[in-house]
Structure 1
Amino acid sequence: MSREGTANIVWHPTTVTKEDRQKRAGHKSCVIWFTGLSGAGKSTLANAVENELHQRELASYVLDGDNIRHGLNRGLGFSAEDRKENIRRIGEVAKLFVDAGVITLTAFISPYLEDRALARSLVAEGEFIEVYVKCSLEECERRDVKGLYEKARKGEIGQFTGISSPYEEPIAPELVIETGTLSVEQSVATVIDYLHQRGII
């Protein structure tokens, strides 16, 4: 869209506010951003946390990397530029969910510090919880649930994070969860406890 076109677009404030929606839900909303290598357990943990939130009758939703690429981000590849656009779009969608009063869980490798910082900047301070799902490359390869590492090692998949493309570890995440040593139940409890401590739930 041209600069002239965007100049004519004005943000329209809503009558019902984010605070109104949070009050009705009975809890605050936020983004819980799970980042880590492929196979680290991001999707497993995000879905397990959402299940716990759902059992408590709290409004939540998981935005999963693979699922999003089936629709909203279909057509994007895995180049640095496409990865950046992938995360930008997810950040914007997550922002909308937070505005809707929903605890939003995202499960994306999101390998670059700059892209995660952009996603954080889209929501208010305190509404972005970065969770580094930490797992050694060796353990991720051992799991290799989708067989992706084997293909990457054979050169069948290019620009694969951890093999032929870098992963920039979080510098100061709100939580670090080592899935190589913690059970899913322990990991979920860690996230839920943190949400309590922050007064989100």
Structure 2
Amino acid sequence: MADNIHPIHDRLVQRQEREAANGHRGGVIWLTGLSGSGKSTIAAEVERKLFERGVFARVLDGDNVRDGLNANLGFSLEDRKENTRRVAEVAKLFAETGALVLCSFVSPTREMRQMVADIVGQDDFMEVFINTPIELCEQRDVKGLYAKARAGEIKNFTGIDSPYEAPDAPFLDIKTADLSIEQAADQLIEALSL
């Protein structure tokens, strides 16, 4: 550690105190899947339902984070990795305050998601695969990104000319093809036992 850095962690309100006040543990729920799979929509629905139950939850979403914290990053594999690393560090800070952090990020490689688990800590990390066929993602594509990627206007687009590695053993695998948003959200909340 640099000589000019003096953390004050020992003087701050401790995580156990925050979790006791919140009435639940903090943690990071990492929603991964293709663009258009429903990650952000499901995360927002889960956050709303948890909020209504008095659970301290917060969504960190790919588009919102890239609009601010990570506005300087592109979509190369290295930039995606750095985007993921920064989000993991922020999510860890939130989790330490006793929050349940719903992170909705494509995070296309297993290596990236393992990096998140390593940063956050295995006890606080829950990987949720929003498992949606690419054909359905393209149908839902309100931004027109798939069409642009297929036309060559967008490079390094996950699922088209950049790979997506599905999780091997996620905490939860939500197959959205036959589920409403509410059903998918309820499935996640039930798995969290909240």
Q: Same fold (TM over 0.5)?
A: yes
For 1:105, the equivalent position in structure 2 comes to 102
CA distance in 1, matches of 2:40, 2:186: 16
**CA deviation after TM superposition for structure 1 residue 11, in Å:** 3.8
Question: Equivalences for 1:62-73 in 2 at 5 Å?
Answer: 62-73=59-70
Identity of aligned residues (%): 51
SS of residue paired to 1:14: helix
The residue type paired with residue 184 of structure 1 is: I
CA distance in 1, matches of 2:170, 2:133: 17
Q: Following TM superposition, where does structure 1 have runs of at least 4 consecutive aligned residues deviating by more than 4 angstroms?
A: none
Q: Which residues of structure 1 form unaligned runs of 5+?
A: 1-5
**CA deviation after TM superposition for structure 1 residue 46, in Å:** 0.2
CA displacement 1:37-79 (0-9 Å, x = unmatched): 0000000000000000000011110000000001000010000
**CA deviation after TM superposition for structure 1 residue 194, in Å:** 1.0
Q: Which residues of structure 2 form unaligned runs of 5+?
A: none
CA distance in 2, matches of 1:140, 1:175: 19
Given candidates 9, 13, 19, the residue that maps to 2:9 is: 13
Q: Give the structure with the higher percent helix.
A: 2
For 1:141, the equivalent position in structure 2 comes to 138
Q: CA RMSD in A?
A: 1.1
For 2:81, the equivalent position in structure 1 comes to 84
Given candidates 105, 119, 122, the residue that maps to 2:119 is: 122
CA distance in 1, matches of 2:94, 2:22: 13
What is the TM-score of this pair, normalised by structure 2?
0.95
SS of residue paired to 2:174: strand
**CA deviation after TM superposition for structure 1 residue 121, in Å:** 1.2
The residue type paired with residue 173 of structure 2 is: V
For 1:178, the equivalent position in structure 2 comes to 175
